[in-house]
Amino acid sequence: MSRRIAWFTAVAIALAAFLRGPSAASAQQSVKLGAGDTLTISGFINATLFNNRGYFDFGQGQNAEWASVAQPGIDQGYFDGDIRNTRIRFDFSSGPVLGKWAPKATLEADFFGQNNGLPPFGDEQPQLRGRFAYVDLTNGRTTLRIGQFWSPMFGEVPVSVTHLAFPLGYGATGMVGWRFPGVFVYHDLTPGKPLTVQVQLALLKGSGLAVTNGIGSGEASGKPQFEARFNLAKRFGTSSWNGYVVYHVDNKDMNGVGVPGGALNGWGVETGHNFTSGKLTVHGNYYTGHNLGQQFGHITQGAGSNSAQQGRIQGWGAWAQAGYDLTPHWGVWFYYGMDQPDAAKYLQQNGVALLRQLSHDTDGLIRFRAGRYAIGLEYFRAVTRWSTGVRTADQYALSVLYSL
């Protein structure tokens, strides 16, 4: 009982210091819990004011991704605000318990949970959403992780001050990957070498549209998703490069539990790279594959989540972004990405037209940074070709970010 009280007291002290700000807490507030255990609290506060012309899907603010099929014909503009990116994270760690092996654990949440309220009051009260919950056992070079974390397909992430929890182009222009409960293994193959190489392996729960009693098509297959990834990194004087390649395979049962047949497999290959030299950064990502809707591929459709359309689908997507630091505080970034499912083949194989057939996203950012504070003025444009025609939507956003 005394140990439990000590833990709760330490957490309360850490949270109090964390919330008082920079005069009372460091960027990551750490508290000793006793018996060699440590709690580190981190996260950020992010707020956005935005003006949209047209409607987006996923959402209209910090999670805008592609242009909706239904657009207002006149009087298109609306002004709103969003704080749902705001995030808090708890990292627990202790000393070695089996030779050099030590346990760690992480719990992370943001405010993109289900919102049961509507304007004028409910939309100012976003709800918490669990992002990560996992436990590690690590000796420094090898880590065994069990719990919910990013699939290895979630790789390079575009820079933004507005689009964080749902990054630029996520599920719309080649930015793919999702977080799942699973078993993950990370192993450094060349520690201390000029060229560092890490291998990642993951067995993840199946995923897909609910087909039987709330059970998804991926879960109904009875087989996990599997992913393997190699990370590479090297420095060249004042420049640095890192890249990765990922292989993914999964199975789905489109008929669900209790009905024979319906097998549908998915696979994908992905690569991403980041090159930084002085004030310049260029990075991007490319994927290709079949039936990757549950991994946010194919404009998030085809036997995946967030799509009412099922069936065989294949395609590819890619994005690139360049950034340049004009001064130690001011920088500019430009993003472009696209995703192109094979709509003609989908029609041939499934007998119906694919809803979202092509997606382009463009983003320009002017960012000011000073320590933990950042503010950005951002323009985001989505162009989406639906089976019924092309739709566009534009967003002008002013966002602030304070890293805790």
Q: Read off the pTM.
A: 0.90
Would you place residue 12 in the very low, low, confident or very high pLDDT band (cuts 50, 70, 90)? low
Instruction: Tell me the CB-side half-sphere exposure of residue 118, using CA atoms within 13 A.
Output: 0
- Boundaries of every domain in the chain: 1-35, 36-403
Q: Which two tokens stand for residue 373?
A: 């504070």
The whole-number pLDDT of residue 21 equals 47
What percentage of the chain exceeds 70 in pLDDT? 91
β-bridge pairing 102-110 and 87-93: antiparallel
Alpha-carbon distance 190 to 141, whole Å?
9
The whole-number pLDDT of residue 10 equals 52
pLDDT at 28 over 60: yes
Q: Are 273 and 281 in contact (CB under 8 A)?
A: no
DSSP per position, 43-58 = EEEEEEEEEEES-EES
The whole-number pLDDT of residue 22 equals 43
The whole-number pLDDT of residue 87 equals 97
The whole-number pLDDT of residue 294 equals 94
The whole-number pLDDT of residue 308 equals 62
What is the number of other CB atoms lying within 10 angstroms of the CB of residue 225?
A: 25
Segment 375-393 shows an average pLDDT of 97
Please write the tens of the pLDDT for every residue from 249-307.
999 998 889 898 889 999 999 999 999 999 999 999 999 999 999 999 999 998 766 66
What percentage of the chain exceeds 90 in pLDDT? 77
What average pLDDT does the chain have? 91
pLDDT at 90 over 50: yes
Alpha-carbon distance 172 to 382, whole Å?
9
Would you place residue 19 in the very low, low, confident or very high pLDDT band (cuts 50, 70, 90)? very low
Please write the tens of the pLDDT for every residue from 166-180.
999 999 999 999 999
pLDDT, greater one: 115 or 343 = 343
State which fold the 36-403 domain adopts. Answer: Porin (2.40.160)
Q: 214, 300, 202, 215: which is closest to 252 by C-alpha? A: 215
Segment 102-109 shows an average pLDDT of 97
Q: Are 129 and 140 in contact (CB under 8 A)?
A: no
The whole-number pLDDT of residue 178 equals 97
pLDDT at 345 over 50: yes
The whole-number pLDDT of residue 31 equals 80
pLDDT at 133 over 80: yes
SS3 168: coil
pLDDT at 44 over 90: yes
Least confident span in 26-35, 117-126, 130-139, 363-372: 26-35
pLDDT at 190 over 50: yes
Please write the tens of the pLDDT for every residue from 208-224.
888 888 899 999 999 99
Would you place residue 24 in the very low, low, confident or very high pLDDT band (cuts 50, 70, 90)? very low
Please write the tens of the pLDDT for every residue from 233-247.
999 989 999 999 999
Q: Are 386 and 353 in contact (CB under 8 A)?
A: no
Q: Which two tokens stand for residue 67?
A: 């242009």
129-132 contact pairs (CB < 8 A, 24+)? 131/87, 131/165, 131/179, 132/89, 132/106, 132/107, 132/108, 132/179
